[in-house]
Amino acid sequence: MFEINPKLQQKAYRLGHEQTPLFVVDDVMLDYSDAQKEACSIAYSSDKNKIGAYYPGVRAPVGEAYGMAVLRYSLDVFYHFFQVPKALSLFPKNGSYSLITQQPQNMDLLQCIPHFDNNDTFNFAMIHYLNDGDFGGTGFYRHKPTGYENITQGRRQHYLQSAQAFIDHAGQPKQQYFTESNEHFELIHKVDYKPNRLLIYPATILHSAYIDNPKHDVNNDPKTGRLSANFFIEFKQA
């Protein structure tokens, strides 16, 4: 149960001008049906205080056994590929099953543009795609007015001011899922949705669920929808 596949396939990327590390693992779990079953047996919430302001859907907490299996596997990846100092320890912040459920016409402003998860160094996000099907993946972006791809603590205020100034001048973004480049954001990389694929990336990078077919992807059924497990972790002194 929740065993890592010894024949998994790993690929490392460096994205954009800032060469942000991205790690993609295919066939990560030996049998991911246990995660699918768990996701179908629990209650989901749409409370933004619980799921985050940016996520256009519902979430439910992952079980400890599944979460720990993913975290144990990823530890070496963080220390070696992401160059996290060995003096820092991994602390899980959140692990949730996630489903896209928000129709485009009901989306908030912050859900219509790429976002960052937080601004802290050595904080990371992981996405494990779980269901079979032709769903939208994940896009990574550059903010054109500033050239920023990662929104760190030192960049946060400038980025927010610049993004607001652009919206004040150009108008509100269209009420739709953000996919391809426009005048405000440039798509620098896209990872397709594939069952049992795991993505690992810094929490500071601008990104968005790449939902180019919302009629298909907006689905609140964990058996048939765009099911993923999302993990947020940080490294700090123990």
Q: Could you read off the pLDDT of 108-142 as tens digits, one per residue?
A: 988 999 999 999 999 999 999 999 999 999 999 99
* Predicted local distance difference test score (pLDDT) of residue 238: 86
Phi, psi values for residue 129, rounded to 5°: -75, 135
Domain boundaries, the chain: 9-236
For residue range 177-188, what is the model confidence (pLDDT) as tens digits? 999 999 999 999
Residue 115: CB partners within 8 Å, gap ≥ 6?
54, 206, 207, 208
Task: Extract the runs of DSSP E, i.e. beta strands, from 54-152.
Answer: 57-61, 89-100, 123-129, 138-143
3-state class of 27 per DSSP? coil
* Predicted local distance difference test score (pLDDT) of residue 119: 96
* Predicted local distance difference test score (pLDDT) of residue 1: 82
Average pLDDT, the chain: 96
Task: Extract the runs of DSSP E, i.e. beta strands, from 130-227.
Answer: 138-143, 185-191, 197-202, 207-209
3-state class of 42 per DSSP? coil
Proportion of the chain in helix, strand, coil states, percent, rounded to 5: 25, 30, 45
The H-or-E segment that residue 164 falls in is helix 153-170
The stretch 97-114 carries a mean pLDDT of 94
Q: What percent of the chain has pLDDT over 70?
A: 100
Q: Is the pLDDT of residue 48 over 90?
A: no
The stretch 156-176 carries a mean pLDDT of 97
Two structure tokens written together for 22? 């991205």
**What pLDDT band is residue 50 in, cutting at 50, 70 and 90?**
confident
Map tokens 């009420």 to a residue. Answer: 175
The type of residue at 219 is N
The stretch 193-199 carries a mean pLDDT of 98
The stretch 7-35 carries a mean pLDDT of 98
Two structure tokens written together for 209? 């669920």
Region of poorest pLDDT, from 23-27, 48-52, 181-185, 212-216: 48-52
Partner residues linked to 201 by β-bridges: 125
**The domain at 9-236 falls in which architecture?**
Sandwich (2.60)
The stretch 73-82 carries a mean pLDDT of 97
Partner residues linked to 186 by β-bridges: 142
| pTM reported for the whole predicted model | 0.96
Q: Is the pLDDT of residue 51 over 80?
A: no
Phi, psi values for residue 145, rounded to 5°: -60, -35
- Distances in Å between the Cα of 165 and the Cα atoms of 108, 145, 234 are 18, 10, 31
HSE, CB side, 13 Å, CA atoms: give it for residue 229. 30
Instruction: Report the 10 Å Cβ neighbour count for 224.
Output: 12
* Predicted local distance difference test score (pLDDT) of residue 20: 98
